[in-house]
Amino acid sequence: MSLYSKVRATCHECGSGHLVRDEKVGEIICHGCGLVIQDTIIDNGPEWRAFTPEERESKRRTGPRTSLSMYDKGFSTSIFTKGDLYGKKISSSERYKMLRLRRMSVRTSLRKSVERNLFQAMIVLNRLCEKLKIPRGLHESAALIYRKMLGKGLVRGRSIAAVAAASLYLALRRANVPRTLKEISDASSRNKKEVSRCYRLVLWELGYKTPIDDPIQYVSKIGSNAGIDQEAQMRALELLRKARKMGITVGKDPSGMAAAALYISSIELGEKVTQGRLAEAANVTEVTIRNRYKGLLRDMELKWD
Binding residues (CB under 7 A) for DNA: these are 192-193, 196-197, 200, 251-253, 256-257, 273-276, 283-288, 290-292, 294
Distance, CA of 301 to CA of 256 (rounded, Å):
19
Residue number, 268 or 286, with CB nearest to DNA: 286
Distance, CA of 34 to CA of 281 (rounded, Å):
74
The residue among 271, 273, 270, 302 whose CA lies nearest residue 289 is: 273
Give me the least distance between CB of 210 and DNA, in Å please.
Answer: 12
Residue number, 51 or 304, with CB nearest to DNA: 304
Residue number, 143 or 188, with CB nearest to DNA: 188
Residue number, 127 or 197, with CB nearest to DNA: 197
Distances (CA, A) of 24 to 56, 236, 265: 21, 81, 82
Question: 16 with 30: CB under 8 angstroms?
Answer: yes
Residue number, 233 or 249, with CB nearest to DNA: 249
Distance, CA of 194 to CA of 56 (rounded, Å):
33
**E-strand stretches of 13-144:** 19-22, 27-30, 36-38
Give me the least distance between CB of 246 and DNA, in Å please.
Answer: 13
Give me the least distance between CB of 152 and DNA, in Å please.
Answer: 17
Give me the least distance between CB of 145 and DNA, in Å please.
Answer: 18
DSSP for residue 30: E
Give me the least distance between CB of 196 and DNA, in Å please.
Answer: 4
The burial of 58, by beta-carbon neighbours within 10 Å (0-12 exposed, 13-18 middle, 19 or more buried), is given as exposed
Give me the least distance between CB of 287 and DNA, in Å please.
Answer: 4
The distance in angstroms from the start CA to the end CA of the chain is: 81
Residue number, 129 or 198, with CB nearest to DNA: 198
DSSP string, 212-226: ---THHHHHHHHHHH
